[in-house]
Structure 1
Amino acid sequence: MKNWLFSSLGLMLVIEGLMPFFFPQGWRDTFKKLITMKSGQIRFMGLVSFLLGLIFIFLGR
Protein backbone atom coordinates (compact mmCIF):
# COMPACT_ATOMS: atom_id res chain seq x y z
CA MET A 1 0.00 0.00 0.00
CA LYS A 2 2.78 2.44 0.88
CA ASN A 3 4.59 1.77 -2.39
CA TRP A 4 1.45 2.52 -4.39
CA LEU A 5 0.83 5.73 -2.45
CA PHE A 6 4.40 7.00 -2.82
CA SER A 7 4.47 6.08 -6.51
CA SER A 8 1.20 7.94 -7.09
CA LEU A 9 2.40 11.04 -5.24
CA GLY A 10 5.71 10.95 -7.11
CA LEU A 11 3.97 10.69 -10.48
CA MET A 12 1.69 13.59 -9.56
CA LEU A 13 4.69 15.77 -8.68
CA VAL A 14 6.46 14.84 -11.93
CA ILE A 15 3.39 15.73 -14.00
CA GLU A 16 2.81 18.98 -12.11
CA GLY A 17 6.45 19.94 -12.57
CA LEU A 18 6.39 19.58 -16.35
CA MET A 19 4.61 22.84 -17.16
CA PRO A 20 6.74 25.18 -15.04
CA PHE A 21 9.89 23.45 -16.29
CA PHE A 22 9.08 23.53 -20.01
CA PHE A 23 6.73 26.54 -20.18
CA PRO A 24 7.52 28.92 -17.30
CA GLN A 25 5.84 31.95 -18.93
CA GLY A 26 2.64 29.99 -19.66
CA TRP A 27 2.64 28.70 -16.10
CA ARG A 28 3.01 32.25 -14.76
CA ASP A 29 0.21 33.52 -17.03
CA THR A 30 -2.06 30.72 -15.84
CA PHE A 31 -1.56 31.73 -12.21
CA LYS A 32 -2.23 35.37 -13.05
CA LYS A 33 -5.58 34.27 -14.51
CA LEU A 34 -6.33 32.15 -11.43
CA ILE A 35 -5.83 35.15 -9.16
CA THR A 36 -8.61 37.04 -10.96
CA MET A 37 -11.10 34.15 -10.77
CA LYS A 38 -13.81 33.92 -8.14
CA SER A 39 -13.58 31.29 -5.41
CA GLY A 40 -16.55 29.40 -6.80
CA GLN A 41 -14.88 29.07 -10.20
CA ILE A 42 -11.68 27.75 -8.63
CA ARG A 43 -13.66 25.28 -6.49
CA PHE A 44 -15.50 24.03 -9.57
CA MET A 45 -12.19 23.47 -11.38
CA GLY A 46 -10.91 21.60 -8.32
CA LEU A 47 -14.04 19.43 -8.24
CA VAL A 48 -13.75 18.58 -11.94
CA SER A 49 -10.06 17.73 -11.49
CA PHE A 50 -10.85 15.59 -8.46
CA LEU A 51 -13.60 13.69 -10.27
CA LEU A 52 -11.46 13.12 -13.36
CA GLY A 53 -8.70 11.79 -11.13
CA LEU A 54 -11.10 9.34 -9.51
CA ILE A 55 -12.35 8.19 -12.91
CA PHE A 56 -8.76 7.62 -14.11
CA ILE A 57 -7.97 5.65 -10.95
CA PHE A 58 -11.00 3.41 -11.40
CA LEU A 59 -10.30 2.91 -15.13
CA GLY A 60 -6.71 1.99 -14.38
CA ARG A 61 -7.62 -0.77 -11.96
Structure 2
Amino acid sequence: MLHTLLIACALVLIIEGIGPMLFPNKWRLYLQQLVEQPVNQLRSVGGVLVTIGLVSLFFLL
Protein backbone atom coordinates (compact mmCIF):
# COMPACT_ATOMS: atom_id res chain seq x y z
CA MET A 1 0.00 0.00 0.00
CA LEU A 2 2.75 2.46 0.92
CA HIS A 3 4.66 1.54 -2.22
CA THR A 4 1.61 2.32 -4.39
CA LEU A 5 1.10 5.65 -2.62
CA LEU A 6 4.72 6.62 -3.22
CA ILE A 7 4.41 5.70 -6.91
CA ALA A 8 1.27 7.85 -7.16
CA CYS A 9 3.06 10.81 -5.54
CA ALA A 10 6.03 10.39 -7.88
CA LEU A 11 3.72 10.40 -10.90
CA VAL A 12 1.99 13.56 -9.66
CA LEU A 13 5.36 15.29 -9.32
CA ILE A 14 6.36 14.24 -12.84
CA ILE A 15 3.08 15.40 -14.39
CA GLU A 16 3.08 18.68 -12.45
CA GLY A 17 6.68 19.38 -13.42
CA ILE A 18 6.19 19.00 -17.17
CA GLY A 19 4.47 22.39 -17.59
CA PRO A 20 7.09 24.59 -15.93
CA MET A 21 9.92 22.57 -17.47
CA LEU A 22 8.72 22.79 -21.08
CA PHE A 23 6.85 26.12 -21.06
CA PRO A 24 8.22 28.33 -18.24
CA ASN A 25 6.96 31.65 -19.68
CA LYS A 26 3.45 30.34 -20.34
CA TRP A 27 3.45 28.75 -16.88
CA ARG A 28 4.35 32.08 -15.27
CA LEU A 29 1.52 33.85 -17.13
CA TYR A 30 -0.88 31.09 -16.09
CA LEU A 31 0.05 31.52 -12.43
CA GLN A 32 -0.38 35.30 -12.67
CA GLN A 33 -3.88 34.80 -14.09
CA LEU A 34 -4.63 32.25 -11.38
CA VAL A 35 -3.66 34.70 -8.63
CA GLU A 36 -6.12 37.27 -10.03
CA GLN A 37 -9.13 34.89 -9.81
CA PRO A 38 -11.66 35.40 -7.01
CA VAL A 39 -11.26 33.11 -4.00
CA ASN A 40 -14.76 31.64 -4.41
CA GLN A 41 -14.02 30.63 -8.00
CA LEU A 42 -10.77 28.92 -6.95
CA ARG A 43 -12.60 27.12 -4.15
CA SER A 44 -15.27 25.91 -6.58
CA VAL A 45 -12.71 24.65 -9.08
CA GLY A 46 -10.83 22.89 -6.28
CA GLY A 47 -14.03 21.25 -5.07
CA VAL A 48 -14.88 20.02 -8.56
CA LEU A 49 -11.37 18.59 -9.01
CA VAL A 50 -11.51 16.80 -5.65
CA THR A 51 -14.93 15.38 -6.50
CA ILE A 52 -13.74 14.12 -9.89
CA GLY A 53 -10.70 12.57 -8.22
CA LEU A 54 -12.77 10.82 -5.56
CA VAL A 55 -15.27 9.45 -8.08
CA SER A 56 -12.42 8.26 -10.33
CA LEU A 57 -10.70 6.61 -7.39
CA PHE A 58 -13.95 4.91 -6.37
CA PHE A 59 -14.38 3.38 -9.83
CA LEU A 60 -10.71 2.43 -10.19
CA LEU A 61 -10.60 0.58 -6.88
TM-score category by the smaller chain? 0.7 to 0.9
- For 2:3, give the aligned amino acid: N
TM-score calculated relative to the size of structure 1: 0.85
CA deviation digits over 1:4-60, x for unaligned, max 9?
110111111111001001111111111101111111111111112212222332343
Identity among equivalent positions (%) equals: 33
Residue in 1 that maps onto 2:12: 12
Separation of aligned partners in 1, 2:39 and 2:16: 22
Report which stretch shifted further, 33-42 or 46-55: 46-55
- Stretches of structure 1 lacking an aligned partner (at least 5 in a row): none
Matches for 1:1-61 after TM superposition, within 5 Å:
1-61=1-61
How many pairs are equivalent?
A: 61
- Stretches of structure 2 lacking an aligned partner (at least 5 in a row): none
- For 1:11, give the aligned amino acid: L
Separation of aligned partners in 2, 1:21 and 1:56: 27
Separation of aligned partners in 2, 1:7 and 1:37: 32
Superposition CA RMSD, Å: 1.2
